[in-house]
């Protein structure tokens, strides 16, 4: 019998603000960060997971993740991974931690980090990459895992089972299709960060086209004239056959979003992403009606499955961009995938952050194989930074995520990376923080 003996949680921060990587109209100086969870056992088995933040406040997620993981200590690993739905529900039922959300904010980010580690541990124990482990689960097992609470007015258990059973016999065909085409299609945001100069934008766009990308995304929303100029550069470089997407990162009120997007319509964007508050279901619906045929996409800040239910019910979005570290791991993500299937909305997961690409490749592959069965309108985000810190980094070739082959959820960081970028005592931050800053941080701690 293997037992969970402890949990380690690390505050890992990368200084991406120095190069303006990740910069957009709302978030101008983020340091991509992870509350990184390692579940230890009395054997060699480990589970690795994280949630994503952009700097200050990551320490809150670290402590919340530690609190979320404590009930797992002493658990039998076989029992825990043998009932991943029950494990999730046992953590979720902590009413005192739930009160802080419920099911949103820091406590929910922490739930994602811990359950991501549990799923990683389960896949490692099975000796399979997570996408394959999920693709080999029966429809009944998948529905038992999914968190369907509060969703029965949009999706019943019987409907979920019917959709999964419909796809079960042909899963192998779709795995073969992905292998033959070179992987799951992705788009790049790496060229389009708002803080980049025009010259850098032009150079990176050309490099992306040369690397085989047919979907590219630019940040917008800070200044209309700048947006017009930058989108003009983009179309000059990528042409009019490639797909161009734009992302405002929540900076607009609804009327402003409608006016601004219609001013940019001449550049024929495929979608406008996060045009307003991520919680504003009716606002997204109004924007969608007013800017069509430009699609509306959102979801990276979608706080839980109930918000997505309402987005689907209100016909508020054309593309669902769930986040692997904001929703409460596979249990809640699966519920959103199933609703998206029922409502006919393609899922194009968000991955603009440290480690998110490593996770979402598994999700998108599983969706195609076992849930949606379609690549139409589906493309998953990719950003080209920080992958070198992971022991099983994602691989992208010709604009496709190559199918992961190693066991787990691809979430493990190198120990030396964790040591170097742990905040504030890691090697990098010890050198970078001035003595007075370090003292201030220590005083807060």
Catalytic site positions? 219, 350
Give 378's DSSP letter: -
State the DSSP code for 418.
H
Q: DSSP secondary-structure letter at 60?
A: H
Cα atoms found within 13 Å of the Cα of residue 396, Cβ hemisphere only: 22
Burial 318-351 (b: 16+ CB within 10 A, else e): bbbbbbbbbbbbbbbbbbbbbbbbbbebbbbbbb
Q: State whether residue 56 is helix, strand or coil.
A: coil
- What is the rounded CA–CA span in Å between residue 445 and residue 440? 9
Residue 69 CB burial class (10 angstroms; 0-12, 13-18, ≥19): buried
Q: Where are the beta strands (DSSP E) in 58-209?
A: 184-188
Dump the DSSP string for 286-338.
HHHHHHTTSEEEE-TT--SHHHHHHHHHTT--SEE--BTTTS-HHHHHHHHHH
CA distances in angstroms from 165 to 369, 373, 400, 431, listed in the order given: 12, 12, 28, 56
* Partners of 196 in the β-ladder: none
Determine the 3-state secondary structure of 62 from DSSP.
helix
Q: What is the spatial distance between Cα 205 and Cα 224, in angstroms, rounded to a whole number?
A: 20
d(C-alpha 8, C-alpha 62), whole Å: 10
């Amino acid at each position: 019998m293997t037992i969970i003996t402890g949990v380690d949680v690390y505050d890992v921060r990368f200084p991406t603000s120095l190069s303006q990587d990740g910069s957009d109209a709302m978030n101008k100086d983020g340091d991509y960060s992870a509350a990184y969870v390692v579940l230890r056992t009395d054997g060699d088995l480990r589970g690795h997971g994280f949630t994503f933040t952009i700097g200050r406040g990551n320490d809150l997620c670290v402590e919340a993740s530690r609190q979320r993981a404590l009930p797992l200590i002493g658990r039998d690993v076989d029992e825990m991974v043998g009932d991943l739905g029950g494990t999730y529900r046992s953590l979720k039922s902590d009413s005192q931690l739930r009160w802080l959300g419920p099911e949103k904010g820091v406590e929910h980010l922490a739930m994602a980090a811990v359950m991501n580690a549990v799923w990683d541990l389960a896949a490692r124990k099975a000796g399979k990459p997570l996408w394959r482990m999920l693709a080999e689960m029966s429809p009944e097992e998948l529905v038992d895992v999914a968190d369907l609470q509060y969703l029965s007015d949009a999706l019943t258990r019987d409907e979920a089972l019917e959709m999964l059973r419909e796809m079960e016999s042909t899963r192998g065909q779709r795995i073969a299709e992905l292998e033959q085409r070179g992987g799951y299609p992705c788009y790049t945001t790496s060229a389009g960060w708002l803080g980049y100069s025009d010259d850098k934008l032009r150079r990176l766009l050309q490099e992306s086209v040369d690397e085989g990308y047919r979907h590219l995304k630019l940040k917008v929303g800070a200044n209309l004239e700048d947006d017009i100029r930058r989108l003009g550069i983009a179309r000059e470089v990528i042409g009019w056959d490639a797909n161009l997407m734009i992302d405002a990162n929540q900076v607009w009120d609804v009327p402003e979003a409608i006016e601004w997007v219609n001013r940019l319509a001449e550049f024929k964007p495929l979608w406008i992403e996060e045009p307003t508050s991520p919680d504003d279901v009716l606002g997204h619906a109004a924007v969608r009606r007013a800017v069509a045929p430009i699609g509306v996409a959102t979801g990276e800040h979608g706080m839980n499955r109930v918000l997505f239910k309402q987005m689907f019910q209100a016909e508020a979005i054309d593309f669902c961009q769930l986040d692997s570290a904001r929703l409460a791991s596979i249990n809640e993500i699966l519920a959103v995938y199933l609703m998206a299937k029922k409502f006919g909305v393609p899922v194009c997961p968000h991955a603009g952050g440290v480690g998110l690409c490593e996770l979402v490749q598994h999700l998108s592959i599983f969706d195609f194989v076992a849930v949606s069965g379609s690549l139409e309108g589906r493309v998953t985000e990719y950003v080209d930074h920080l992958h070198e810190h992971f022991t099983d980094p994602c691989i992208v070739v010709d604009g496709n995520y190559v199918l992961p082959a190693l066991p787990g959820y691809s979430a493990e960081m190198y120990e030396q990376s964790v040591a170097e970028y742990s905040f504030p005592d890691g090697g990098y931050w010890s050198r970078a923080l001035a003595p007075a800053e370090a003292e201030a941080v220590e005083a807060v701690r």
